[in-house]
Structure 1
Amino acid sequence: MTTVVLVADPPVEGIACQRLLEETELTPADGLELYRALLGDTMETLARSTIDILVNYPTAEGLPAGADPEADLREIAAEAMSADRLADVRFEPQVGSNFSAIAGNAITHLVRDEGRQSAAALRPCVPRLARSVVDEATLNLRRDDVILGPAARGDVYFAGFAEPIDFEDAFETRPIEELTRRATEADLDVGFVQQRTVLDSPADFRTVRSRIEADHLAGKPVPERFWNVIQERGIEVEDGVVQSAETA
Structure 2
Amino acid sequence: MSVIVLVTDPPRPGLVLPDLAETSPLTKEGTAELAAAMAKDAMRAIDRTGGDLLVNFRPEDLLPEEHRTETSAEAEVRALAADALDDPSVARFEPQVGSTQSARVGNTVTHLLREEEADSVAVLTGTTPFVTRPGIDQAAMKLRSNEVVLGPGHGGSIYYAGFTDTVDFSDALETPPLWHLTDAARDEGYETEFLPMQPTVRTGDELATVVARIRARVAAERVVPEFTAARVEEWGLLVEAGEDGSPELVRR
Normalised TM-score (structure 1): 0.92
Give the counterpart letter for 2:84 in structure 1. A
Query: 1:25 touches 1:241 (CA, 8 Å); kept in 2?
Result: no
Structure 1 position 52, deviation (Å): 0.9
Matched residue SS, 1:18: coil
Give the counterpart letter for 1:160 in structure 2. G
Indicate yes or no: 2:84 matched with 1:80.
yes
1:159-198 superposed matches below 5 A? 159-198=161-200
Give the counterpart letter for 1:71 in structure 2. A
Structure 2 counterpart of 1:14: 14
1:115-130 superposed matches below 5 A? 115-130=117-132
Give the counterpart letter for 2:151 in structure 1. G
Alignment gaps of 5+ in structure 2: none
1:77-116 superposed matches below 5 A? 77-83=81-87, 86-116=88-118
Structure 1 counterpart of 2:134: 132
Over residues 66-103 of structure 1, what are the superposed CA-to-partner deviations in whole Å (9 max), with x where a residue is unaligned? 242211111111121122xx323110001122221111
Aligned-residue Cα RMSD (Å) equals 1.5
Structure 2 counterpart of 1:201: 203
Over residues 155-194 of structure 1, what are the superposed CA-to-partner deviations in whole Å (9 max), with x where a residue is unaligned? 1111111110000111112222221111122111111111
Structure 1: 4+ residue segments shifted above 4 A: none
**Percent of residue pairs identical:** 36
Distance 2:75 2:57 in 1: 10
Query: 1:119 touches 1:161 (CA, 8 Å); kept in 2?
Result: yes
Query: 1:59 touches 1:70 (CA, 8 Å); kept in 2?
Result: yes
Which deviates the most, 128-137 or 21-30? 21-30
Give the counterpart letter for 1:201 in structure 2. T
Would you say how many aligned residue pairs link Structure 1 and Structure 2?
Answer: 243
Distance 1:151 1:34 in 2: 18
Distance 1:212 1:233 in 2: 13
Given the superposition, is the C-alpha separation of residues 64 and 181 from structure 1 closer, same or farther in structure 2, using an over 3 Å criterion?
closer
Give the counterpart letter for 2:30 in structure 1. D
Over residues 182-240 of structure 1, what are the superposed CA-to-partner deviations in whole Å (9 max), with x where a residue is unaligned? 11221111111111111111111111111111111011111111111111122334535
Alignment gaps of 5+ in structure 1: none
Given the superposition, is the C-alpha separation of residues 222 and 93 from structure 1 closer, same or farther in structure 2, using an over 3 Å criterion?
same
Structure 1 position 9, deviation (Å): 1.9
Q: Which has the higher contact order (CA 8 A, sep 6+)?
A: 1
